[in-house]
Amino acid sequence: MKVAVVDINGKKTGRNVELSDAIFAIEPNDHAIYLDVKQHLANKRQGTHKAKERADISGSTRKIKKQKGTGTARAGSIKSPIFRGGGRAFGPRPRNYSFKLNKGLKKLARLSALSIKAKEENIVVLEKFSFDTPKTKEFTSILKALELENKKSLFVLDESNKNVYLSSRNLKNVNVLKGSQLNTYEVLNTSKIVISEACLEEIESNFSK
């Protein structure tokens, strides 16, 4: 698949690049995508939720009434969940939500996501660019030139450029990643993927391993 290379003004440079069919034109695997996105979101969960159960409540453990004959529910102490201020029954406890996925499956999911975007013609190849100083206004002008001003966009660069990252940080619909940080969730959670021309080789190299 051939894609035209554009500059930061949104104009075609007259050059084309060939997107590898092994990366951008495979048959997408929906289940692999589902598992990879599920793992990504699960890994982001803190899992620090905690409710006080009856063992965590301060108070007397004296049995407050006899077991039978009162016509009300049994209660071992004032800390019972049936009373206001008592401990919660089966409340949430801190836990780790992360789970393991095989490398092959994660790779398949990423390739599937990229292939979906390529099929939808939502991949833009951009000439290499950088900023000498952080300038959000300059980054906004690039978005406007690429007609991405009101769309979610993902910029994938070949190297970490602090000034480009800082220029985009205040823009809520823009995300900037290095090629090595590319993941299924970020690819699918965007309208357009803008890949720097130099980054294509890095992506092909990473996925050929």
Residue 132's CATH number = 3.40.1370.10
- Is pLDDT at 209 greater than 80 in this prediction? no
Do residues 151 and 79 share a domain?
no
128 pLDDT band, cuts 50/70/90, is: confident
Average pLDDT over residues 14-38: 93
Q: What is the pLDDT of residues 148-188, one digit of tens each?
A: 988 999 999 887 778 888 899 889 899 999 888 899 999 99
Q: Distance (Å, rounded) from C-alpha 152 to C-alpha 119? A: 18
Do residues 199 and 152 share a domain?
yes
Do residues 88 and 135 share a domain?
no
Q: How many domains does the chain have?
A: 2
Residue-level pLDDT at 130: 81
Do residues 54 and 156 share a domain?
no
Q: What is the mean pLDDT of the chain?
A: 91
How crowded is residue 208: how many other Cβ atoms within 10 Å of its Cβ?
9
Do residues 54 and 67 share a domain?
yes
Average pLDDT over residues 101-130: 93
65 pLDDT band, cuts 50/70/90, is: very high
Q: Distance (Å, rounded) from C-alpha 98 to C-alpha 101? A: 10
Q: What is the pLDDT of residues 71-93, one digit of tens each?
A: 988 889 999 998 999 999 999 99
- Is pLDDT at 100 greater than 80 in this prediction? yes
31 pLDDT band, cuts 50/70/90, is: very high
pTM exceeding 0.85 = no
Do residues 18 and 72 share a domain?
no
- Is pLDDT at 99 greater than 90 in this prediction? yes
CB 28 within 8 A of CB 37: no
Q: Which domain holds residue 87?
A: 48-96
197 pLDDT band, cuts 50/70/90, is: confident
- Backbone CA torsion sign across 190, 196, 197, 198: negative
Residue-level pLDDT at 180: 86
